[in-house]
Structure 1
Amino acid sequence: MNRRVKLYIIMVLSILILSWETQQMLPVEAGDQHFIPEESIRLRILANSNAPLDQTVKRNIRDAVNTQITTWVEHLQDVDDAREIIGANMADLNEIVAGELEAAGSNEPFSVELRETAFPTKLYGSRLYPAGDYEAVVVTLGDGKGDNWWCVLFPPLCFLDFSNSDAKAHEAEGENSTGEDDAEEVQVSFFIVDVFTNLWDKITS
Protein backbone atom coordinates (compact mmCIF):
# COMPACT_ATOMS: atom_id res chain seq x y z
CA MET A 1 0.00 0.00 0.00
CA ASN A 2 1.62 3.27 -1.10
CA ARG A 3 1.83 6.41 1.02
CA ARG A 4 -0.84 8.30 -0.95
CA VAL A 5 -3.43 5.57 -0.35
CA LYS A 6 -2.60 5.52 3.36
CA LEU A 7 -3.07 9.27 3.65
CA TYR A 8 -6.36 9.07 1.72
CA ILE A 9 -7.69 6.41 4.11
CA ILE A 10 -6.74 8.51 7.14
CA MET A 11 -8.39 11.61 5.65
CA VAL A 12 -11.65 9.79 4.92
CA LEU A 13 -11.73 8.29 8.40
CA SER A 14 -11.12 11.69 10.00
CA ILE A 15 -14.06 13.20 8.12
CA LEU A 16 -16.35 10.33 9.16
CA ILE A 17 -15.33 10.54 12.81
CA LEU A 18 -15.66 14.32 12.97
CA SER A 19 -19.09 14.13 11.36
CA TRP A 20 -20.22 11.55 13.91
CA GLU A 21 -18.92 13.62 16.83
CA THR A 22 -20.71 16.74 15.55
CA GLN A 23 -24.03 14.92 15.32
CA GLN A 24 -23.78 13.84 18.95
CA MET A 25 -23.78 17.42 20.25
CA LEU A 26 -26.74 19.44 19.03
CA PRO A 27 -27.74 23.00 19.93
CA VAL A 28 -31.01 23.22 21.80
CA GLU A 29 -33.89 24.48 19.67
CA ALA A 30 -37.35 25.84 20.41
CA GLY A 31 -39.82 23.03 20.85
CA ASP A 32 -37.26 20.83 22.58
CA GLN A 33 -38.44 19.83 26.07
CA HIS A 34 -35.06 20.99 27.41
CA PHE A 35 -35.18 24.32 25.57
CA ILE A 36 -34.23 27.37 27.65
CA PRO A 37 -35.75 30.53 26.13
CA GLU A 38 -33.47 33.53 25.64
CA GLU A 39 -35.66 35.47 28.08
CA SER A 40 -35.43 33.31 31.16
CA ILE A 41 -34.38 33.59 34.79
CA ARG A 42 -32.07 31.01 36.28
CA LEU A 43 -31.23 29.99 39.81
CA ARG A 44 -27.63 29.57 40.84
CA ILE A 45 -26.46 28.56 44.31
CA LEU A 46 -22.78 28.62 45.24
CA ALA A 47 -21.99 26.51 48.29
CA ASN A 48 -19.53 27.68 50.89
CA SER A 49 -17.30 24.65 50.30
CA ASN A 50 -17.44 20.99 49.33
CA ALA A 51 -17.73 19.85 52.93
CA PRO A 52 -20.73 17.49 53.36
CA LEU A 53 -22.58 19.93 55.62
CA ASP A 54 -22.11 22.84 53.22
CA GLN A 55 -23.35 20.73 50.31
CA THR A 56 -26.38 19.58 52.31
CA VAL A 57 -27.21 23.19 53.18
CA LYS A 58 -26.88 24.11 49.50
CA ARG A 59 -29.38 21.43 48.49
CA ASN A 60 -31.83 22.40 51.23
CA ILE A 61 -31.69 26.04 50.16
CA ARG A 62 -32.07 24.98 46.53
CA ASP A 63 -35.27 23.11 47.30
CA ALA A 64 -36.74 25.85 49.49
CA VAL A 65 -35.95 28.73 47.12
CA ASN A 66 -37.12 26.84 44.05
CA THR A 67 -40.38 25.82 45.72
CA GLN A 68 -41.12 29.38 46.77
CA ILE A 69 -40.29 31.02 43.45
CA THR A 70 -42.22 28.38 41.51
CA THR A 71 -45.39 29.37 43.40
CA TRP A 72 -44.80 32.93 42.25
CA VAL A 73 -44.04 32.37 38.58
CA GLU A 74 -45.61 29.05 37.50
CA HIS A 75 -48.66 30.74 35.96
CA LEU A 76 -46.82 33.72 34.46
CA GLN A 77 -46.17 34.05 30.73
CA ASP A 78 -43.92 37.11 30.61
CA VAL A 79 -40.35 37.31 31.89
CA ASP A 80 -40.86 40.95 32.91
CA ASP A 81 -43.66 39.89 35.25
CA ALA A 82 -41.48 37.14 36.68
CA ARG A 83 -38.59 39.55 37.18
CA GLU A 84 -40.86 42.06 38.90
CA ILE A 85 -42.39 39.60 41.35
CA ILE A 86 -39.02 38.01 42.19
CA GLY A 87 -37.43 41.42 42.67
CA ALA A 88 -40.28 42.59 44.89
CA ASN A 89 -39.88 39.54 47.14
CA MET A 90 -36.14 39.38 47.63
CA ALA A 91 -36.66 39.92 51.36
CA ASP A 92 -38.62 36.65 51.48
CA LEU A 93 -35.81 34.82 49.71
CA ASN A 94 -33.31 36.21 52.19
CA GLU A 95 -35.50 34.94 55.02
CA ILE A 96 -35.67 31.49 53.43
CA VAL A 97 -31.89 31.27 53.11
CA ALA A 98 -31.36 32.59 56.64
CA GLY A 99 -33.87 30.06 57.98
CA GLU A 100 -32.19 27.12 56.28
CA LEU A 101 -28.78 28.19 57.54
CA GLU A 102 -30.11 28.57 61.07
CA ALA A 103 -31.76 25.14 60.89
CA ALA A 104 -28.38 23.68 59.92
CA GLY A 105 -26.64 25.47 62.78
CA SER A 106 -24.64 27.62 60.40
CA ASN A 107 -23.94 31.31 60.89
CA GLU A 108 -22.03 31.84 57.66
CA PRO A 109 -22.76 35.04 55.72
CA PHE A 110 -24.74 34.89 52.50
CA SER A 111 -26.10 37.05 49.71
CA VAL A 112 -29.14 36.76 47.44
CA GLU A 113 -29.09 38.80 44.24
CA LEU A 114 -31.06 39.04 41.01
CA ARG A 115 -28.48 39.89 38.38
CA GLU A 116 -26.65 38.74 35.28
CA THR A 117 -23.92 36.23 35.94
CA ALA A 118 -21.57 34.15 33.81
CA PHE A 119 -22.49 30.54 33.05
CA PRO A 120 -20.19 28.00 31.41
CA THR A 121 -21.12 25.95 28.38
CA LYS A 122 -23.34 23.06 29.43
CA LEU A 123 -23.89 19.74 27.71
CA TYR A 124 -27.17 18.23 28.93
CA GLY A 125 -27.46 14.82 27.33
CA SER A 126 -26.77 15.62 23.67
CA ARG A 127 -28.00 19.22 23.94
CA LEU A 128 -25.51 22.06 24.07
CA TYR A 129 -26.17 25.28 25.99
CA PRO A 130 -23.71 28.05 25.09
CA ALA A 131 -21.70 29.95 27.68
CA GLY A 132 -22.73 33.52 28.38
CA ASP A 133 -24.07 36.03 30.87
CA TYR A 134 -27.61 35.15 31.95
CA GLU A 135 -30.06 36.69 34.39
CA ALA A 136 -30.29 34.65 37.57
CA VAL A 137 -31.13 34.61 41.23
CA VAL A 138 -27.63 34.09 42.63
CA VAL A 139 -27.32 32.76 46.16
CA THR A 140 -23.77 32.85 47.49
CA LEU A 141 -23.14 31.00 50.75
CA GLY A 142 -20.07 31.90 52.79
CA ASP A 143 -16.99 31.90 50.56
CA GLY A 144 -18.98 30.52 47.61
CA LYS A 145 -16.13 28.18 46.69
CA GLY A 146 -17.95 24.86 46.77
CA ASP A 147 -19.73 22.99 44.00
CA ASN A 148 -22.56 25.11 42.69
CA TRP A 149 -25.98 24.14 41.38
CA TRP A 150 -28.22 25.77 38.80
CA CYS A 151 -31.52 25.38 37.03
CA VAL A 152 -34.11 27.57 35.29
CA LEU A 153 -36.71 29.28 37.47
CA PHE A 154 -38.66 30.93 34.68
CA PRO A 155 -40.03 29.24 32.77
CA PRO A 156 -40.03 26.60 35.53
CA LEU A 157 -37.46 24.00 34.45
CA CYS A 158 -35.87 23.13 37.77
CA PHE A 159 -37.00 19.55 37.33
CA LEU A 160 -34.00 19.41 34.97
CA ASP A 161 -30.79 19.37 36.99
CA PHE A 162 -28.42 20.94 34.50
CA SER A 163 -25.64 20.90 37.10
CA ASN A 164 -25.47 17.12 36.84
CA SER A 165 -24.72 17.22 33.12
CA ASP A 166 -21.36 17.11 31.44
CA ALA A 167 -19.94 20.58 30.99
CA LYS A 168 -16.95 22.63 30.04
CA ALA A 169 -16.13 26.23 30.84
CA HIS A 170 -15.31 28.42 27.85
CA GLU A 171 -14.97 31.70 29.70
CA ALA A 172 -13.79 32.74 33.14
CA GLU A 173 -16.56 33.10 35.68
CA GLY A 174 -17.54 36.54 36.85
CA GLU A 175 -16.97 35.43 40.44
CA ASN A 176 -13.97 33.62 41.87
CA SER A 177 -15.91 30.42 42.42
CA THR A 178 -14.22 27.05 42.33
CA GLY A 179 -15.46 23.52 42.81
CA GLU A 180 -17.97 22.26 40.30
CA ASP A 181 -17.15 24.86 37.65
CA ASP A 182 -13.49 23.87 37.86
CA ALA A 183 -14.48 20.22 37.75
CA GLU A 184 -16.66 20.99 34.76
CA GLU A 185 -13.63 21.99 32.68
CA VAL A 186 -13.44 18.72 30.82
CA GLN A 187 -10.12 17.87 29.23
CA VAL A 188 -9.96 17.83 25.46
CA SER A 189 -10.48 14.32 24.16
CA PHE A 190 -7.67 12.77 22.15
CA PHE A 191 -9.96 10.06 20.84
CA ILE A 192 -9.37 10.89 17.18
CA VAL A 193 -5.62 11.14 17.65
CA ASP A 194 -5.59 7.76 19.36
CA VAL A 195 -7.61 6.20 16.57
CA PHE A 196 -5.29 7.57 13.92
CA THR A 197 -2.20 6.51 15.86
CA ASN A 198 -3.44 2.94 16.21
CA LEU A 199 -4.57 2.87 12.60
CA TRP A 200 -1.23 4.20 11.36
CA ASP A 201 0.66 1.63 13.42
CA LYS A 202 -1.40 -1.15 11.84
CA ILE A 203 -0.95 0.21 8.31
CA THR A 204 2.76 0.72 8.60
CA SER A 205 3.45 -2.50 10.50
Structure 2
Amino acid sequence: MKKNIFCFIIILFVINLFGGCAIVENEESLDLKELNYEEIADKLIRFHVIANSDSEEDQALKLKVRDRIIDKMSIKLEKAESLDQARDILNSSIEEVNSIAREVIIEEGFDYDVNTMLSNENFPDKIYGDYVFPQGTYEAYRVIIGSGEGQNWWCVMFPPLCFVDESKNIVDTKKLDENIANLDDKVEENKEDNKKVIFKFKVVEVFNKIFN
Protein backbone atom coordinates (compact mmCIF):
# COMPACT_ATOMS: atom_id res chain seq x y z
CA MET A 1 0.00 0.00 0.00
CA LYS A 2 2.81 2.40 0.97
CA LYS A 3 4.63 1.52 -2.24
CA ASN A 4 1.53 2.35 -4.31
CA ILE A 5 1.14 5.69 -2.53
CA PHE A 6 4.81 6.49 -3.14
CA CYS A 7 4.47 5.65 -6.85
CA PHE A 8 1.37 7.81 -7.10
CA ILE A 9 3.25 10.77 -5.58
CA ILE A 10 6.13 10.30 -8.05
CA ILE A 11 3.71 10.16 -11.00
CA LEU A 12 1.91 13.27 -9.75
CA PHE A 13 5.24 15.06 -9.40
CA VAL A 14 6.27 14.19 -12.97
CA ILE A 15 2.91 15.31 -14.36
CA ASN A 16 3.13 18.62 -12.54
CA LEU A 17 6.76 19.02 -13.58
CA PHE A 18 6.01 18.81 -17.29
CA GLY A 19 2.69 20.61 -16.95
CA GLY A 20 4.42 23.25 -14.88
CA CYS A 21 6.97 23.87 -17.61
CA ALA A 22 4.17 24.89 -19.94
CA ILE A 23 2.73 27.12 -17.26
CA VAL A 24 6.07 28.81 -16.67
CA GLU A 25 6.49 29.42 -20.38
CA ASN A 26 3.05 31.01 -20.50
CA GLU A 27 3.72 33.18 -17.43
CA GLU A 28 7.03 34.33 -18.90
CA SER A 29 5.30 35.37 -22.10
CA LEU A 30 2.89 37.45 -20.02
CA ASP A 31 5.79 39.00 -18.06
CA LEU A 32 3.79 39.08 -14.86
CA LYS A 33 5.81 41.04 -12.32
CA GLU A 34 5.19 40.96 -8.59
CA LEU A 35 5.47 44.39 -7.03
CA ASN A 36 7.29 44.98 -3.78
CA TYR A 37 4.58 45.25 -1.13
CA GLU A 38 6.64 47.47 1.18
CA GLU A 39 7.13 50.02 -1.59
CA ILE A 40 3.54 50.35 -2.79
CA ALA A 41 1.22 49.51 0.12
CA ASP A 42 1.01 53.05 1.51
CA LYS A 43 1.10 54.84 -1.85
CA LEU A 44 -2.19 53.83 -3.44
CA ILE A 45 -5.90 53.41 -2.78
CA ARG A 46 -7.75 50.43 -4.18
CA PHE A 47 -11.39 50.43 -5.23
CA HIS A 48 -13.57 47.40 -4.54
CA VAL A 49 -17.22 46.85 -5.38
CA ILE A 50 -18.54 43.77 -3.58
CA ALA A 51 -21.67 42.06 -4.88
CA ASN A 52 -24.52 40.85 -2.69
CA SER A 53 -23.92 37.27 -3.90
CA ASP A 54 -22.41 35.31 -6.77
CA SER A 55 -25.72 34.95 -8.59
CA GLU A 56 -25.72 36.11 -12.20
CA GLU A 57 -28.14 38.93 -11.36
CA ASP A 58 -26.12 40.22 -8.41
CA GLN A 59 -22.87 40.10 -10.34
CA ALA A 60 -24.43 42.05 -13.22
CA LEU A 61 -25.78 44.59 -10.74
CA LYS A 62 -22.32 44.99 -9.22
CA LEU A 63 -20.88 46.03 -12.59
CA LYS A 64 -23.64 48.55 -13.21
CA VAL A 65 -23.04 50.10 -9.81
CA ARG A 66 -19.32 50.16 -10.57
CA ASP A 67 -19.85 51.95 -13.88
CA ARG A 68 -22.03 54.68 -12.40
CA ILE A 69 -19.64 55.33 -9.50
CA ILE A 70 -16.56 55.43 -11.72
CA ASP A 71 -18.21 57.86 -14.10
CA LYS A 72 -18.77 60.23 -11.18
CA MET A 73 -15.60 59.74 -9.19
CA SER A 74 -13.25 59.89 -12.17
CA ILE A 75 -14.15 63.58 -12.56
CA LYS A 76 -13.58 64.30 -8.87
CA LEU A 77 -10.28 62.45 -8.61
CA GLU A 78 -8.81 64.31 -11.58
CA LYS A 79 -8.18 67.14 -9.11
CA ALA A 80 -6.26 64.99 -6.64
CA GLU A 81 -2.50 65.52 -6.73
CA SER A 82 -1.64 63.51 -3.64
CA LEU A 83 -2.83 60.55 -1.61
CA ASP A 84 -4.15 62.85 1.11
CA GLN A 85 -6.18 64.85 -1.38
CA ALA A 86 -7.63 61.68 -2.89
CA ARG A 87 -8.47 60.40 0.60
CA ASP A 88 -10.29 63.65 1.45
CA ILE A 89 -12.29 63.52 -1.78
CA LEU A 90 -13.29 59.91 -1.22
CA ASN A 91 -14.27 60.40 2.42
CA SER A 92 -16.36 63.46 1.62
CA SER A 93 -18.12 61.55 -1.20
CA ILE A 94 -19.30 58.52 0.80
CA GLU A 95 -22.92 59.64 1.09
CA GLU A 96 -23.00 60.64 -2.58
CA VAL A 97 -21.56 57.26 -3.62
CA ASN A 98 -24.13 55.46 -1.48
CA SER A 99 -26.89 57.45 -3.16
CA ILE A 100 -25.54 56.67 -6.63
CA ALA A 101 -25.36 52.97 -5.85
CA ARG A 102 -28.83 52.91 -4.32
CA GLU A 103 -30.22 54.66 -7.40
CA VAL A 104 -28.81 51.96 -9.67
CA ILE A 105 -30.04 49.19 -7.37
CA ILE A 106 -33.58 50.54 -7.36
CA GLU A 107 -33.51 51.06 -11.14
CA GLU A 108 -32.61 47.39 -11.54
CA GLY A 109 -35.49 46.28 -9.32
CA PHE A 110 -33.56 45.36 -6.16
CA ASP A 111 -33.77 46.66 -2.61
CA TYR A 112 -30.27 46.13 -1.21
CA ASP A 113 -28.59 48.39 1.31
CA VAL A 114 -25.21 49.90 0.41
CA ASN A 115 -22.26 50.63 2.67
CA THR A 116 -19.28 52.61 1.41
CA MET A 117 -16.13 53.07 3.45
CA LEU A 118 -12.46 53.91 3.20
CA SER A 119 -10.63 51.33 5.29
CA ASN A 120 -7.50 49.20 5.54
CA GLU A 121 -8.17 45.64 4.46
CA ASN A 122 -6.11 42.52 3.90
CA PHE A 123 -6.24 41.22 0.32
CA PRO A 124 -4.74 38.13 -1.37
CA ASP A 125 -2.44 38.27 -4.41
CA LYS A 126 -4.23 39.97 -7.30
CA ILE A 127 -3.20 40.37 -10.94
CA TYR A 128 -3.72 43.85 -12.37
CA GLY A 129 -2.56 44.37 -15.94
CA ASP A 130 0.96 42.94 -16.11
CA TYR A 131 1.50 43.24 -12.37
CA VAL A 132 0.88 41.04 -9.38
CA PHE A 133 -0.16 43.07 -6.36
CA PRO A 134 1.11 40.95 -3.45
CA GLN A 135 -1.00 39.83 -0.54
CA GLY A 136 -1.17 42.34 2.29
CA THR A 137 -3.05 45.21 3.88
CA TYR A 138 -4.06 48.04 1.55
CA GLU A 139 -6.18 51.15 1.92
CA ALA A 140 -9.35 50.53 -0.05
CA TYR A 141 -12.53 52.37 -0.97
CA ARG A 142 -15.13 49.63 -0.59
CA VAL A 143 -18.70 49.69 -1.84
CA ILE A 144 -20.56 46.76 -0.30
CA ILE A 145 -23.89 45.84 -1.87
CA GLY A 146 -26.40 44.04 0.35
CA SER A 147 -24.80 41.24 2.37
CA GLY A 148 -21.52 41.59 0.43
CA GLU A 149 -21.06 37.84 0.06
CA GLY A 150 -20.32 37.83 -3.68
CA GLN A 151 -17.14 38.23 -5.69
CA ASN A 152 -15.75 41.72 -5.95
CA TRP A 153 -14.48 43.83 -8.82
CA TRP A 154 -11.40 45.92 -8.09
CA CYS A 155 -8.95 48.39 -9.54
CA VAL A 156 -6.45 51.02 -8.40
CA MET A 157 -8.46 54.17 -7.68
CA PHE A 158 -5.50 56.39 -6.84
CA PRO A 159 -3.33 56.89 -8.78
CA PRO A 160 -6.39 56.82 -11.07
CA LEU A 161 -5.86 53.63 -13.05
CA CYS A 162 -9.53 52.56 -13.04
CA PHE A 163 -10.62 55.03 -15.62
CA VAL A 164 -9.06 53.74 -18.82
CA ASP A 165 -11.92 53.08 -21.19
CA GLU A 166 -15.71 53.04 -21.26
CA SER A 167 -15.86 49.31 -20.53
CA LYS A 168 -13.92 49.83 -17.26
CA ASN A 169 -12.20 46.52 -18.00
CA ILE A 170 -9.02 47.40 -19.91
CA VAL A 171 -5.83 48.27 -18.06
CA ASP A 172 -3.54 50.58 -20.01
CA THR A 173 -0.18 48.89 -19.39
CA LYS A 174 1.84 51.95 -20.39
CA LYS A 175 -0.16 54.17 -18.06
CA LEU A 176 0.14 51.57 -15.32
CA ASP A 177 3.93 51.44 -15.77
CA GLU A 178 4.14 55.24 -15.54
CA ASN A 179 2.02 55.42 -12.41
CA ILE A 180 3.83 52.56 -10.70
CA ALA A 181 7.10 54.36 -11.43
CA ASN A 182 5.68 57.58 -10.01
CA LEU A 183 4.82 55.82 -6.77
CA ASP A 184 8.55 55.70 -6.02
CA ASP A 185 9.32 59.37 -6.66
CA LYS A 186 9.63 60.15 -2.96
CA VAL A 187 11.70 57.09 -2.08
CA GLU A 188 15.33 57.89 -1.17
CA GLU A 189 17.77 57.57 -4.02
CA ASN A 190 19.91 55.03 -2.20
CA LYS A 191 17.03 52.57 -2.20
CA GLU A 192 16.77 52.52 -5.99
CA ASP A 193 19.49 49.90 -6.39
CA ASN A 194 17.70 47.58 -4.00
CA LYS A 195 14.47 47.43 -5.99
CA LYS A 196 13.74 44.06 -7.50
CA VAL A 197 11.06 42.79 -9.78
CA ILE A 198 10.08 39.26 -8.81
CA PHE A 199 8.66 37.00 -11.48
CA LYS A 200 5.94 34.84 -10.03
CA PHE A 201 5.20 31.51 -11.66
CA LYS A 202 2.18 29.35 -10.98
CA VAL A 203 4.36 26.23 -11.04
CA VAL A 204 5.94 27.32 -7.75
CA GLU A 205 2.51 27.54 -6.15
CA VAL A 206 1.64 24.08 -7.51
CA PHE A 207 4.79 22.53 -6.01
CA ASN A 208 4.24 24.27 -2.69
CA LYS A 209 0.71 22.88 -2.48
CA ILE A 210 1.95 19.37 -3.32
CA PHE A 211 4.75 19.22 -0.78
CA ASN A 212 2.97 21.09 1.98
Correspondence 1:37-76 to 2 at 5 A: 38-76=42-80
Indicate whether 1:97 and 2:104 are aligned: no
Whole-Å separation in 2 of the counterparts to 1:27 and 1:43? 19
Match of 1:113 among 99, 110, 117: 117
Whole-Å separation in 2 of the counterparts to 1:71 and 1:125? 23
Match of 2:161 among 157, 161, 171: 157
**What corresponds to 1:178 in structure 2?**
none
Q: Which moved more, 1:116-125 or 1:57-66?
A: 116-125
Whole-Å separation in 2 of the counterparts to 1:62 and 1:36? 24
**What corresponds to 1:6 in structure 2?**
none
**What corresponds to 1:27 in structure 2?**
34
Structure 1 residues 36, 99: CA separation in 2 closer, same or farther (over 3 Å shift)? farther
Whole-Å separation in 1 of the counterparts to 2:143 and 2:170? 17
* Identity, % of aligned positions: 32
Indicate whether 1:127 and 2:128 are aligned: no
Match of 2:152 among 144, 148, 165: 148
Post-superposition Cα deviations, 1:150-173, rounded to whole Å, max 9, x if no partner, equal 01111111137599xxxxxxxxxx
Whole-Å separation in 2 of the counterparts to 1:125 and 1:75? 24
Work out whether residues 124 and 162 of structure 1, in 8 Å CA contact, stay in contact via their aligned partners in 2. no
**How many residues align structurally?**
148
Larger Rg: 1
Amino acid at match of 1:105: G
**What corresponds to 2:143 in structure 1?**
139
Whole-Å separation in 1 of the counterparts to 2:40 and 2:74? 16
Whole-Å separation in 2 of the counterparts to 1:116 and 1:79? 14
Whole-Å separation in 2 of the counterparts to 1:119 and 1:131? 5
**What corresponds to 2:92 in structure 1?**
88
Query: Match of 1:50, SS?
Result: coil
Q: What TM-score, normalized by structure 1, do the two folds share?
A: 0.61
For residue 124 of structure 1, report the CA deviation from its aligned partner.
3.8
Whole-Å separation in 2 of the counterparts to 1:36 and 1:73? 19
Whole-Å separation in 2 of the counterparts to 1:124 and 1:64? 21
Structure 2: give runs of 5+ residues left out of the alignment: 1-16, 172-201
